Amino acid sequence: MTDNTSGHTSGGPGITQERRLVTAIPGPRSQELAARKAKAVASGVAVGLPVQVVAAGGGILVDADGNQLIDLGSGIAVTTVGNSAPRVVEAVTRQVAEFTHTCFMVTPYEGYVAVAEKLNELTPGTHEKRSALFNAGAEAVENAVKIARSATGKQAVVVFDHAYHGRTNLTMAMTAKNMPYKNGFGPFASEVYRAPLSYPFRDGGLDGAEAARKAIDVIEKQVGANNLAAIVIEPIQGEGGFIVPAEGFLPTLVAWCRENGVVFVADEVQTGFARTGELFACDHEGVVPDLIVTAKGIAGGLPLAAVTGRAEIMDAAHAGGLGGTYGGNPLACAAALAVFETIEAEGLVDRARTIGKTMTERLAALQDDDPRIGEIRGRGAMIAVELVKPGTTEPDADLTKKVAAAANAKGLVVLTCGTYGNVLRFLPPLSMPDHLLDEALDLLAEVFQEN
């Protein structure tokens, strides 16, 4: 059971909640695995921090050398309820002993329907909804586009600067950044168009409605609402740099979509399930998307993704048009139901807000003394710092790499992101106890002082 305030969270496997370094990072056993990986795994599958994880829980990752690292990444926003969270372990263990697979499209089971019911209830808006389950975020984004095209009879899709939607062919087209996601992997899917995003740190502080007007202008001139099936947008961009659009940007786009028969799709793959201090990032501005795409934090680390939305849109695809062998696998569904229960029982939406407040205050104190920290942004437990050359907005990717490497060496798992590679992002599991979060922030302060 998690107790965030006492500082003695055990996590699933009963791991002591303390950072411990007994070797350099990575240690000898981790290096052995890295050597095996180099021979056995395709080099296109790159690794950020090559430590061999053997256990994880609360706010700690344990490696094969006996080091204990503080986890500020959650496996890229996946283990929001913690690694091996007790309810998830219990539910999956029970399910694996009952049955592991039938394929929902062949012979259905309750878990799938229960997850769909819960998603229909929890996602923004009180309208009648339907859900369909998939394996990964990219697959769900693709299906949202399929559904929007079926419902509207139109083909074009608009995405935004700095967007990340995945690595499949259609989602590569939707993703903005060339390296490493797209380079050499074309040709990409057609009928994908890009509009400017509200990026307050870099667009001269346009207000949300103005920034939306600019995007709408591009859409109207270059695509035409009569050709446009959907706008797909991350309400807070993830890989693009944790960019929070100015207030009013998303509501203005939604209103335009409603007026023009365009499906508004929120890609909440990274922001969903309590991460941002609301159940969904759309909730911060009362945005009600027509379709919402979820994955990552939905099932505590088991592969599951979903598209949820207005019944009349979701039901537009013909029978047999949606699905897949593994989509909504029984183990993943059992895990998801346990995640929903955990979020509620442990008050994790509030916990994300508290974590966000602590991180933001401590990082702001750092920024006061360090002009290389251009901006601190994000919501809840999804916080980032954008690093720049002092006194400018010129991105400093080298510093970002250096700071991340120095943090890793101190036993802190941090991730970088951003179109310019200059954003350090923090996605702690919400099972992170206070004392570890404080220690992580102390270590970050040291890292900035030393580099």
Ligand X SMILES: Cc1ncc(COP(=O)(O)O)c(C=O)c1O
Instruction: Count the neighbouring beta carbons within 10 Å of the beta carbon of residue 143.
Output: 25
Q: Which is nearer to ligand X, 76 or 445 (CB)?
A: 76
The residue (of 83 and 271) whose beta carbon lies closer to ligand X is 271
Which residue, 60 or 173, is less far from ligand X as judged by CB? 173
Q: Is the CB of residue 430 less than 8 Å from the CB of residue 355? A: yes
CB of 318 to ligand X, least distance (A): 25
Phi, psi torsion values for 439, nearest 5 degrees: -65, -40
Task: Report how far residue 80's alpha carbon sits from residue 279's, in angstroms, rounded to the nearest whole number.
Answer: 12
> Is 352 in contact with 131 (CB distance < 8 Å)?
no
**Residue with Cβ nearer ligand X (167 or 213):** 167
Contact in structure between 170 and 185 (CB atoms under 8 Å)? no
CB of 76 to ligand X, least distance (A): 6
Q: Cβ of residue 17: shortest distance to ligand X, in angstroms? A: 27
Helices (H), 4-136: 28-40, 74-77, 86-98, 110-122
Query: Alpha-carbon dihedral of residues 122, 123, 124, 127, nearest 10 degrees?
Result: -90
Q: How many residues does the chain have?
A: 451
Which is nearer to ligand X, 181 or 193 (by Cβ)? 181
Neighbours of 32 (CB within 10 A): 14
Residue corresponding to tokens 């009180």: 126
Which of residues 238 and 411 has its CB atom nearest to ligand X in the complex?
A: 238
Taking the least distance from each CB to ligand X, the nearer of 136 and 156 is 136
Cβ 363 to ligand X shortest distance, Å: 22
Answer for the pair 337, 115: CB distance below 8 angstroms, yes or no: yes
Q: What are the residues binding ligand X (CB under 6 A)?
A: 76, 136-138, 141, 164-166, 234, 238-239, 267, 269-270, 295
Name the nearest CA neighbour of 403 among 426, 419, 436, 377: 426
Query: CB of 270: closest distance to ligand X in angstroms?
Result: 4
To ligand X, the closest distance from the beta carbon of 165 in angstroms equals 5
Least distance to ligand X from the beta carbon of 398, Å? 24
> Minimal distance in Å, beta carbon 199 to ligand X?
16
Rounded Cα gap, residues 243 and 263, in angstroms: 22
Give the Å distances, CA to CA, from 30 to 57, 62, 88.
19, 11, 28
Residue whose CB is less far from ligand X, 268 or 439: 268
- The CB-based long-range contact list for 217-223 (8 Å cut-off, 24+ gap) reads 219/158, 219/193, 219/195, 222/193, 223/156, 223/158, 223/193
- Please identify the residue of the shown chain whose CB is closest to the bound ligand X: 137
Minimum CB separation of residue 141 from ligand X in Å reads 6
User: For residues 295 and 306, which CB has a smaller minimum distance to ligand X in the complex?
Assistant: 295
Query: Considering the complex, what minimum distance in angstroms separates the CB of residue 339 from ligand X?
Result: 15
Residue 6 or 325 having the CB closest to ligand X: 325
Q: Report the C-alpha gap between 325 and 330 in whole angstroms.
A: 12
User: In whole angstroms, what separates CA 399 from the centre of its chain?
Assistant: 24
CA distance 382 to 106: 39
